[in-house]
Chains A and B, each alone.
Chain A
Amino acid sequence: MSSALQIVWVYPDLLSTYGDRGNMLILAHRAKLRGIPVDTLEVRSDQALPYGDIYLIGGGEDGPQALAAQRLAADRGLHRAVDRRAVVFAVCAGYQLLGNSFFAKGAKCDGLGLLDLHSDRGPTRAVGELAGDIDPALGLPMLTGFENHGGRTHLGPEVKPLAKVRAGIGNDGATEGAWSGTVIGTYSHGPALSRNPALADLLLRWATGEESLAAPDDTWHTRLRGERLGAVGLV
């Protein structure tokens, strides 16, 4: 086993609809800026999930989402990872399949049960800018992202909402995403961390055990955040 930080991108062959690679690239980039050595591993759905410090799960269409959930349930590697408090960051379809159940192609599918939540179909498709105030316990600035999903997610008592919605739909128009321990899910799809570098750093701090990380030059991230939050009237 390498001493470098292991970032595992789960099933890019199934769950990589649009820019999902970005979260892996951003985490690796920000780790290197702090002198933290990194290995990135792209694991296909016909391979066993390896040991990792951070697991990333992306978005996908219904068919691949259901298939990914089946394979992860059979593999059990993600369950073992959560048991040893590895970090999991999942977006959109990847977020839904961490819950107890979700809907794909009109049928209810078993989720992995790693987050206490379930998802069903909403009355409308949620497409557009998403923003919200992140749970103060996480100490992060406002969440900004782009959502594109037809699901609605209902949180159980064992998870906390990642954010309170200020623009867009998220879980149900009131809350967005969920977190528990070192597992975070969000409807902010694709390269969610490009607009939320502080969230990327939180994942890195959890994975490395560092209390704080040196502040990099975030000029462009900051300008991007300002522009996107401005577009929904939140700055």
Chain B
Amino acid sequence: MTENKLPLRASLAASVSRTAAALSRATGRGDGSVIGGRLGMMIDPDLLAHLAAGRRIALVSGTNGKTTTTRFTAAAVGVLGDVATNSFGANMPTGHTSALARAGATPYAVLEVDEHYLAQVLRATTPLVVALLNLSRDQLDRAKEVAMMAQLWRDALADHPDVHVVANADDPMVVYAAAAHAASGEGKVTWFSAGQRWREDAHVCPACGAHIERDETDADAWRCATGDLARPAPQWTVDESAVIDPEGVRHEVKLQLPGKVNVGNAATALAVAHRFGVSPADAAPKLAEVASVAGRYAQVDRDGRNIRLLLAKNPASWLEAFDMAEEQPTLLSINARDPDGFDTSWLFDVDFAPLRGRQVLITGDRAYDLAVRLQVNDVPFTHVKSFDEAVAAVPPGRLEVIANYTAFQDIRAELDRVV
């Protein structure tokens, strides 16, 4: 689609959206994706649908990993041509509008979608594929109950019988969300298995309330104790460093991003790109080019220290961060501002024991909550008042930084908004 084919109002709205975003960036008020999209949508409420028309689109949603998976998927689909994507993590409709307006006419788009907005964005963009990664507890002082989110997803898919779903076979909540869609016809859902480290939100079957039974002999297997819900056989799987496609071919992905969770994100991206006609062999080298994602995993050298930034927003992502971090001095930073949620109770859902034996430093607005948690966890630590103090407190070499959302952004700002 070229922009001069947009209806006049949509064309004006897209132009205003781009100008506002540019102004916002120029005045240092952020990357502009939200303000630009908001202004555009005020002029044309259907702007997102107009901008989406004519593009082949993939949506990526879930509690964790959606920003990275979106980046991987955009890289993989990029084998075919230009891809519009919301690479700044602005994952609500205003952000999608801004991303599409900014990109101009592209044949493809890959959009990260906040899990609460999936139904709305499905309606507006009529995607070819939607990838469903996982659902777990996140910002409980305002987020919806996990099982309720799964139901909302399920209802949303019921309104879009033609969309192809790529879904995580390891997460009972995701399987429930996609199960009716899978049952509606042959080949409606592609299942992947990327492992699920965090299982505390999947004790109870979202369909019937019975217990989810786990198999002692097969760590990944699960099924409802009384009903039909069970782990589907996955077509795409992973091992430590490779993605295995539905034909059983192993694709070594030499990722720069750490952790097994990112091999799982790569598998999802390859499965989505495959639906667009990209072979995994062509796509895999593109994933290896991704070095960081909106500052996540970025490495910065300062005063002889190599600082690596890891974002961890909720219990599930903390477990993944511990898996990624090397056994090196580690700074943990916790805030509880509006984007983080005001409740720090989740700290007790995370087992910090993997950090024992490392030099641990803590900081952030809510460092005292973390201090009590670590003490109870028998993890020795030192409290520092600033990021600079943390850097000075560790020997030359790697410093792993694990922080929740606004704490991460604060540290990123200290490092000159590293991307």
Contacts and interface: CB of A to CB of B under 8 A. Distances in A.
A3 to B, nearest CB: 23
Nearest to A129: B342
Interface stretch (A18-26, A116-124, A177-185): A18-26
A14 interface: yes
B209 A19 contact: no
What 6 pairs between A and B have smallest CB-CB spacing?
A: A190-B345, A22-B348, A19-B345, A19-B348, A224-B368, A220-B371
Given A127-B141, A194-B369, A29 B343 contact: no
A19 B346 contact: yes
Contact of B345 (A67, A189, A227): A189
Contacts of B211: 13, 44, 46
Contact of A18 (B142, B343, B372, B373): B343
A148 B341 CA distance: 12
Contact of A128 (B147, B342, B345): B342
A190 B368 contact: no
A148 B140 contact: yes
Interface of B: 137, 140-142, 145, 147, 200, 203-204, 209, 211, 342-349, 368-369, 371-373, 375-377
A18 B145 CA distance: 11
A107 to B, nearest CB: 16
A16 B346 CA distance: 10
A139 interface: no
Contacts of A220: 368, 371-372, 375
Interface in A32-67: 44, 46, 61, 63-64, 67
B348 A21 contact: yes
Contacts of A44: 211
A146 B371 contact: no
The majority secondary structure among interface residues of chain A is mixed
A14 B368 CA distance: 29
A21 B368 CA distance: 18
Contact of A16 (B200, B342, B347, B369): B200
A43 to B, nearest CB: 13
A49 to B, nearest CB: 17
Contact of A146 (B343, B348, B377): B343
A221 interface: yes
Interface in A1-28: 12-14, 16-22, 25-26
Contact of B141 (A14, A29, A148): A148
A9 to B, nearest CB: 12
Given A46-B211, A61-B145, A194-B373, A146 B342 contact: yes
A76 interface: no
Interface string A123-150: 0000110000000000000000010100
A223 B385 CA distance: 14
A191 interface: yes
A17 B348 contact: no
A19 B347 contact: yes
A144 to B, nearest CB: 12
Contacts of B147: 61, 63
A146 B141 CA distance: 10
B369 A224 contact: yes
A224 B347 CA distance: 14
B200 A22 contact: no
A235 B348 CA distance: 26
Contacts of A12: 203
Contact of A26 (B200, B346, B376): B376
Contacts of A63: 147, 209
A71 B208 CA distance: 16
Q: Which of B147, B203, B209 has the most CB of A within 10 A?
A: B203
A233 B347 CA distance: 24
A44 B377 CA distance: 23
21 contacts: A14-B203, A17-B140, A19-B345, A19-B346, A22-B345, A22-B347, A22-B348, A25-B376, A61-B147, A127-B142, A146-B342, A146-B343, A146-B345, A148-B141, A191-B345, A191-B348, A220-B368, A220-B371, A220-B372, A223-B368, A223-B371
B53 to A, nearest CB: 40
Contacts of A61: 145, 147
A155 B59 CA distance: 50
**Residue of B209, B345, B369 with most chain A CB atoms under a 10 A cut-off:** B345
B222 to A, nearest CB: 14
Given A14-B204, A26-B376, A194 B348 contact: yes
A18 B140 contact: yes
Given A19-B345, A220-B372, 12 more contacts: A13-B203, A17-B140, A18-B343, A18-B345, A22-B347, A44-B211, A127-B342, A146-B342, A146-B343, A220-B368, A220-B371, A227-B368
A19 B373 CA distance: 11
